[in-house]
């Protein structure tokens, strides 16, 4: 099934996969290591580490050493000890090298810690010609006392204005940190990919990547307005790719390319970006949260990206149609551009989604059709655009962003001299169903149980607030109105159990909160028909039975949603 969460990912997932991929690349020895003494085997005559400069960062309680007792490889590691926690700063072993903007490096390191009250980590400072810091990047942090060496990495993409980079092995706060097997490699494939993006996309690619130009009237109406100045909002909604998955910064996400294009072509207008991407979610949650996350900001232009998280099936297309109808009918009657991303197998939900695009005359852009033929012909590798199974890195985001702007270029080139009339007030009849145009989302903190035995509201960390139960037999009931009921609950490899859900006393549906994957937890969402319009009573009962590998029977209800009248 295409919409499964392991594909759709989350920030946790993609970071994990990125690290794995990076280390695989490092161990393959693809690029030379640029550090002269990353294993700290070489010492000065006085016993100090060669090639690295200790920087106390103004602290008097810090000491630096080459440690031949604790080491991961060879005969020594480098250690930093801070004896007292007063006035903490960022003392570090430093290694500086000249760099150029646009270059990309990966620093890998192994860290051990003892009694570290704050964190040990690896960072890179980017300095300008006056040795002022332009910006920095930092990697995973290690705290407390580790029982073994931990691997960390940081990707360093050299920003404009930087002439040198300082690799820093940092201990922040008291304790001892050891560093060993530090590596620094340059990623020339990434650099070549980003350099190629400076060129216009080949016309043949754009032609095949433009699934449909669609009706440009809404886009052109926006352009005519924006040419006169004013304030405008550009919104993006989708899954983890839209949220930024695997882009190294906000500025290298696909949405940034569109925002930059709008600012360049309509400089007297003020443009604001609203990013409504949420990892591991599809249009089922999208059609419920559209009002809250996107339409409440009254967007003037929207990009919708759901071709990876939604399955290529009618059921998903139905909720997507509801999302599209909500956006198209919203206050500003904004244009919607449909973006079809892909997974590592070249798969996506474009077939079903493009039926909707054609029905509503929407511009459709396919990243899959833009790049997959290159990958199939082996003129491009998947790794050139993505470090995992789904999420594009900066190069992939760049292609998606540039594909979107080619459509905007076309709309601008063909801009009519006379005012484009407003769209019709009424949307065309639905292609599949209108049900999901009318939705209601109630998060846990606003849910008002009609009956409750054994469940309690748990505010959690905010984003995972839930109604929670762990004693089998606990019952929770709600009154809902609508033709379809959405239930979202937390699934994770933890002490999770099962609940059965029934509507109006009908046949129960058993839901499993235990998740077999190890990459983390996610908001699972299911949809249940209520049996018809109007009021219904939904009942949750925690079951005693559970997955054999689970150590408990907890269930966390995150939200309820309804669709239809």
Q: Which of 180, 293, 369, 541 binds Ca ion (CB under 5 A)?
A: 180
- Min. distance of Cβ 73 from Ca ion in angstroms? 4
- 79 or 530, CB closer to Ca ion? 79
Residue 324: closest CA among 280, 281, 360, 285: 360
Q: How far apart are CA 311 and CA 313, in angstroms?
A: 5
| 67 makes contact with Ca ion (CB under 5 A) | no
Contacts of 393 (CB under 8 A, 6+ apart): 190, 246, 247, 248, 385, 386, 387
Where does this chain touch Ca ion (CB under 5 A) — which range of 33-41, 264-272, 398-406, 533-541? Answer: 33-41
Residue 555: closest CA among 563, 545, 565: 545
| 483 makes contact with Ca ion (CB under 5 A) | no
- 181 or 310, CB closer to Ca ion? 181
Q: How far apart are CA 114 and CA 438, in angstroms?
A: 56
Q: What DSSP designation does 424 have? A: P
Beta carbons of 525 and 498 less than 8 angstroms apart: no
Q: Which of 74, 144, 416, 419 binds Ca ion (CB under 5 A)?
A: 74
- Min. distance of Cβ 76 from Ca ion in angstroms? 5
Where does this chain touch Ca ion (CB under 5 A) — which range of 38-46, 82-90, 352-360, 446-454? Answer: 38-46
Taken as a whole, the chain contains a residue count of 565
User: Residue of minimal CB distance from Ca ion?
Assistant: 39
- Min. distance of Cβ 335 from Ca ion in angstroms? 58
- 67 or 310, CB closer to Ca ion? 67
Where does this chain touch Ca ion (CB under 5 A) — which range of 35-43, 138-146, 330-338, 557-565? Answer: 35-43
- Min. distance of Cβ 174 from Ca ion in angstroms? 24
First to last CA, the chain: 30
Residue 276: closest CA among 250, 239, 301, 249: 239
217-226 vs 394-413: helix crossing angle, rounded to 10: 80
- 179 or 519, CB closer to Ca ion? 179
- 61 or 73, CB closer to Ca ion? 73
* Token couple for 192: 């070549």
- Min. distance of Cβ 75 from Ca ion in angstroms? 7
In the chain, % helix, strand, coil (3-state, to 5) comes to 25, 35, 40
The three-state secondary structure class of 217 is helix
- Min. distance of Cβ 206 from Ca ion in angstroms? 51
| 552 makes contact with Ca ion (CB under 5 A) | no
Q: Which of 56, 63, 73, 260 binds Ca ion (CB under 5 A)?
A: 73
Beta carbons of 259 and 234 less than 8 angstroms apart: yes
Q: Which of 8, 13, 39, 562 binds Ca ion (CB under 5 A)?
A: 39
For Ca ion, the binding residues (CB under 5 A) are 39-40, 71, 73-74, 180
């Amino acid at each position: 099934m295409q919409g499964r969460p392991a594909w759709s990912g989350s920030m946790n997932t993609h970071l994990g996969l990125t690290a794995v991929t990076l280390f695989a690349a490092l161990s393959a020895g693809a690029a030379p290591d640029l550090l002269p003494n990353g294993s700290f085997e070489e010492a000065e005559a006085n016993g100090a580490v060669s090639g690295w400069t200790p920087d106390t960062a103004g602290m008097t309680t810090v000491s630096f050493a080459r440690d031949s007792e604790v080491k991961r490889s060879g005969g020594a590691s480098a250690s930093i000890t801070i004896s007292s926690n007063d006035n903490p700063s960022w003392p570090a072993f430093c290694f500086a090298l000249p760099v150029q903007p646009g270059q990309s490096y990966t620093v890998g390191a192994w860290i051990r810690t003892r009694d570290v009250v704050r964190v040990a980590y690896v960072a890179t400072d980017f300095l300008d010609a006056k040795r002022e810091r332009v910006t920095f990047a930092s990697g995973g942090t290690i705290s407390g006392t580790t029982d073994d060496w931990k691997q960390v990495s940081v990707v360093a993409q050299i920003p404009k204005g930087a002439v040198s980079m300082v690799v820093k092995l940092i201990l922040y706060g008291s304790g001892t940190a050891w560093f060993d097997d530090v590596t620094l490699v340059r990623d020339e494939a990434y650099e070549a990919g980003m350099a190629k993006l400076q060129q216009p996309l080949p016309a043949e690619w754009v032609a095949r990547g433009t699934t449909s130009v669609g009706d440009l009237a809404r886009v052109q109406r926006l352009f005519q307005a924006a040419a006169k100045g004013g304030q405008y909002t550009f919104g993006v909604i989708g899954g983890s790719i839209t949220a930024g998955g695997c882009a190294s910064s906000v500025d290298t996400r696909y949405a940034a390319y569109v925002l930059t294009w709008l600012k360049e072509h309509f400089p007297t207008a003020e443009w604001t970006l609203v990013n409504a991407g949420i990892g591991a979610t599809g249009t089922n949650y999208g059609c419920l949260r559209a009002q809250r996350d996107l339409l409440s900001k009254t967007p003037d232009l929207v990009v919708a990206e759901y071709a990876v998280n939604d399955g290529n099936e009618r059921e998903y297309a139905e909720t997507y149609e509801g999302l599209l109808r909500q956006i198209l009918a919203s206050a500003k009657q904004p244009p919607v551009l449909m973006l079809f991303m892909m997974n590592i197998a070249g798969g996506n939900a474009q077939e079903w989604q493009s039926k909707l695009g054609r029905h509503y005359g929407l511009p459709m852009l396919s990243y899959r059709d833009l790049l997959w033929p290159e990958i199939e012909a082996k003129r491009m590798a998947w790794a050139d655009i993505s470090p995992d199974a789904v999420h594009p890195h900066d190069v992939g985001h760049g292609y998606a962003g540039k594909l979107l702007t080619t459509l905007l270029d076309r709309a601008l080139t063909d801009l009519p001299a006379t005012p484009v009339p407003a769209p019709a007030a009424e949307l065309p009849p639905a292609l599949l169903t209108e049900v999901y145009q009318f939705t209601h989302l109630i998060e846990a903190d606003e849910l008002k149980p009609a009956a409750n035995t054994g469940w309690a509201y748990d505010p959690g960390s905010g984003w995972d607030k839930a109604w929670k139960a762990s004693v089998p037999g606990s019952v929770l009931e709600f009154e809902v109105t609508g033709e379809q009921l959405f239930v979202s609950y937390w699934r994770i490899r933890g002490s999770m159990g099962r609940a059965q859900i029934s509507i109006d006393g009908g046949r129960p549906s058993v839901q499993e909160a235990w998740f077999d994957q190890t990459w983390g937890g996610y908001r699972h969402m299911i949809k249940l028909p209520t049996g018809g319009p109007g009021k219904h009573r939904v009942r949750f009962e925690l079951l005693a039975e559970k997955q054999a590998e689970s150590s408990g029977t907890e269930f966390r209800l995150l939200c309820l949603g309804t669709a239809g009248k």
